[in-house]
Amino acid sequence: MEQRHFAYWPKRRPREFPVPATSVAHNLATSAARWPDHPAIVYYDTPIAYARLWREVEALAGHLEHEAGVKRGDRVLLHMQNSPQFVIAYYAILRANAVVVPLNPMLVAEELETYLDDSDATVAITGQELASRLRPHAYRLRHVVVAAYSDYLERETDLALPAAVAAPAAPVEGDGWVRFADAVRGTAVPSSIVTGGDDMALLLYTSGTTGRPKGCVHTHRSVQTTTWATPMWGGSTGPGARILSVLPYFHVTGMTGDMNAGLCNGATIVMMTRWDPATALTLIERYRCTGMTAISTMVVDLLSHPGYRAEALASLVALGGGGAPLPAAVGTELSERLGMNYMEGYGLTETIAMTHANPPDRTKLQCLGVPTFGIDSRVVDPETLRELGPNETGEIVIAGSQVMREYWKQPEATAEAFIERDGKRFLRTGDLGYADDEGYFFLVDRVKRMINAGGFKVWPAEVETKLFGHPAIKEACVIASIDARLGEQVKALVVLRDGASATADEIIAWAREHMAAYKLPREIAFVDALPRGPTGKVQWRALQEEEQRRAAQVAAPS
């Protein structure tokens, strides 16, 4: 295939690079040996040096192996918000030759059961504010390490602290339940690292149109690919770089773009547990942050905050992200007022983040960018799989070393997700888009049924399944409603059972007990019946199109 985008390739960047064949844990070990006293993390004004970080990784790995019985290839749940303990736990699991299973901290107890069943994990590391959600599953967890984020607040700070960060350490009770602080003080020495490029490193969950979570199997090689590609593309990291880290680490963008990429290069991660624009502005200015990865809504929050001053962002060299297109007006403001281009990119859980990105010196707004190092990306007809030409809309497919190996224990789903072309294995993304005459990719729609709520993927079938559990609900169809700030939100059209009654507020309150906050329907519309096709299936697409027409009419000038 003709690679038109090479004409606009970033200056002084190779087109490909050799991917390390080592465990991802080696990256941090090497950085700690190179820069032992350099701060790896600054956590609400408390610096944590590379040597200390690696020392605690080793201690926790020893604890996992000798106290929790973790063996090579075991899956270990990591259910925690951004914190030094998340970083330590992530690398300790890999250091113990095991597999990290990062979970969204917004998942409730009922939802966690699915991931425990599928991953077969019997060991978990969690934040103390989330521990109660694991308690109902204690019978299947032989060991749980519980972290208090405040243990790493060792210096006074004038920053506003999230409640979970400010909370003092609470007692941890139960057989096999231990405090994180005690685990990292252990002296047990872990066995040598024996995992490498082809071994499983991560089990990252996404969801399918059936609502059943699918685990993406990522090897050390696939993780290493984006770990090194991300900073190489943007050119903003290294021992002198300071990254304001605001995206959640359970998600591929924050995990690879901030945490893994920063630590492999000796950068300093200026970490936030929860997003707060006032704190972000203070930290950027205080630590002269050079880079930040943020979804578009965060950029809007920064520029519209009452405390915003252009001088506060003067140190930033690189600002980029994805998840939702950046409004054109905001992109123009960044370029005109700050002299900075917002680098939008594209990636999936199946590709451990970035596969496409805008060249730093030649960006296009509301554009996925061009295929990055070693990526072969094409557009095909989603039905015939015929390859399409420039400006023809079809399904985006991707081949590259960061693509997952398979869906965990789902061979049929794996077979459906890949096609062979020119001796390469291409992932079907389920996203409709096109490449323009210059090889830049643009997103048009989704083949799969999915709602993008502020960068979080919400699968309507999963939400519908939960809503069917409400005693007053007979049927429900979930679609995307237009949200001015987040782009899309969840809307549920509900048919009540005969004789039953419920208000929208009551249903939303009930849903809050049964699903993560980002999946919650923000709007409930009561209908007498749902439209059905000849086979009896609910015509969700017709409802979605009707919602889009309604939103367009509301937005149209009178």
Domain presence at residue 483: yes
* 3 state DSSP class of 134: helix
Contact 50, 36 (CB under 8 A): yes
Strand ordering across the sheet containing 370-371: 46-49, 39-43, 268-271, 242-245, 291-293, 318-321, 342-348, 353-357, 370-371
Residues 373 and 509 reside in one and the same domain: no
Contact 493, 477 (CB under 8 A): yes
Domain presence at residue 434: no
Q: Which two tokens stand for residue 397?
A: 């497919």
pLDDT at 460: 85
At which of 361, 380, 399 does a domain end? Answer: 380
DSSP 218-230: EEHHHHHHHHHHH
Residues 368 and 492 reside in one and the same domain: no
CATH number at residue 506: 3.30.300.30
Q: Can you tell me the distance from the alpha carbon of 193 to that of 539, in angstroms, rounded to the nearest whole number? A: 52
Residues 293 and 176 reside in one and the same domain: yes
Instruction: Return the number of other C-beta atoms located less than 10 Å from residue 383's C-beta.
Output: 9
Instruction: Return the number of other C-beta atoms located less than 10 Å from residue 339's C-beta.
Output: 9
Q: Can you tell me the distance from the alpha carbon of 520 to that of 511, in angstroms, rounded to the nearest whole number? A: 6
CA nearest neighbour of 522 among 480, 485, 551: 480
Contact 400, 374 (CB under 8 A): yes
Q: Can you tell me the distance from the alpha carbon of 420 to that of 502, in angstroms, rounded to the nearest whole number? A: 51
Q: How many domains does the chain have?
A: 2
Instruction: Return the number of other C-beta atoms located less than 10 Å from residue 182's C-beta.
Output: 12
Residues 210 and 325 reside in one and the same domain: yes
Residues 358 and 481 reside in one and the same domain: no
Q: Can you tell me the distance from the alpha carbon of 87 to that of 90, in angstroms, rounded to the nearest whole number? A: 5
Q: Can you tell me the distance from the alpha carbon of 20 to that of 4, in angstroms, rounded to the nearest whole number? A: 28
Contact 343, 355 (CB under 8 A): no
At which of 352, 380, 408 does a domain end? Answer: 380
Domain presence at residue 281: yes
Domain presence at residue 135: yes
User: Which residues sit opposite 399 in a β-bridge?
Assistant: 376
Contact 323, 302 (CB under 8 A): no
Q: Can you tell me the distance from the alpha carbon of 185 to that of 197, in angstroms, rounded to the nearest whole number? A: 30
Encoded amino acid at 549, one letter = R
Encoded amino acid at 463, one letter = V
Full pLDDT tens readout for the chain, 558 residues: 457 888 889 888 889 999 999 999 999 999 999 999 999 999 999 999 999 999 999 999 999 999 999 999 999 999 999 999 999 999 999 999 999 999 999 999 999 999 999 999 999 999 999 999 999 999 999 999 999 999 999 999 999 999 999 999 999 999 999 999 999 999 999 999 999 999 999 999 985 444 578 999 999 999 999 999 998 998 767 888 999 999 999 999 999 999 999 999 999 999 999 999 999 999 999 999 999 999 877 888 888 889 888 888 889 988 888 766 777 777 887 888 778 888 899 999 999 989 999 998 898 888 999 999 999 999 999 889 999 999 999 999 999 999 999 999 999 999 999 999 999 999 999 998 999 999 999 988 777 677 888 778 788 878 888 898 899 999 899 999 987 676 789 999 999 988 999 999 999 999 999 999 999 999 999 999 999 876 567 888 889 889 988 888 876 665
Contact 396, 430 (CB under 8 A): no
Residue 527 sits in which domain range? 451-555
CA nearest neighbour of 161 among 148, 179, 170, 172: 148
Based on its alpha-carbon atoms, the radius of gyration of the chain, rounded to whole angstroms, reads 23
Domain presence at residue 404: no
Q: Which two tokens stand for residue 25?
A: 């844990």
Q: Which two tokens stand for residue 103?
A: 């979970």
Residues 102 and 214 reside in one and the same domain: yes
Residues 463 and 373 reside in one and the same domain: no
Rounded to 10°, the helix 25-34/84-95 angle is: 110
At which of 380, 401, 426 does a domain end? Answer: 380
CATH number at residue 261: 3.40.50.12780
Question: Ramachandran region of residue 499, left (φ > 0), alpha (ψ -120 to 50) or beta?
Answer: left
CA nearest neighbour of 167 among 281, 89, 273: 273
List CB contacts of 389: < 8 A, sequence separation 6 or more: none
Domain presence at residue 422: no
Q: Give Cα separations from 538 to 36, 98, 524, 530 (angstroms).
A: 59, 43, 17, 6
Q: Which two tokens stand for residue 384?
A: 């015939």
Residues 187 and 50 reside in one and the same domain: yes
* 3 state DSSP class of 76: strand
Element (H, E) at 92: helix 84-95
Residues 318 and 459 reside in one and the same domain: no
Q: Can you tell me the distance from the alpha carbon of 350 to that of 79, in angstroms, rounded to the nearest whole number? A: 20
CA angle 530, 536, 541 (to 5 degrees): 55
Instruction: Name residue, tokens 């699968």.
Output: 459
Domain presence at residue 386: no
* Residues 239, 245, 248, 252, CA torsion sign: negative
User: Which residues sit opposite 379 in a β-bridge?
Assistant: 396
CA nearest neighbour of 232 among 8, 455, 18, 1: 18
Residues 70 and 191 reside in one and the same domain: yes
Residues 354 and 484 reside in one and the same domain: no
Domain presence at residue 539: yes
List CB contacts of 52: < 8 A, sequence separation 6 or more: none
Residues 371 and 464 reside in one and the same domain: no
Contact 18, 225 (CB under 8 A): no
Contact 87, 259 (CB under 8 A): yes
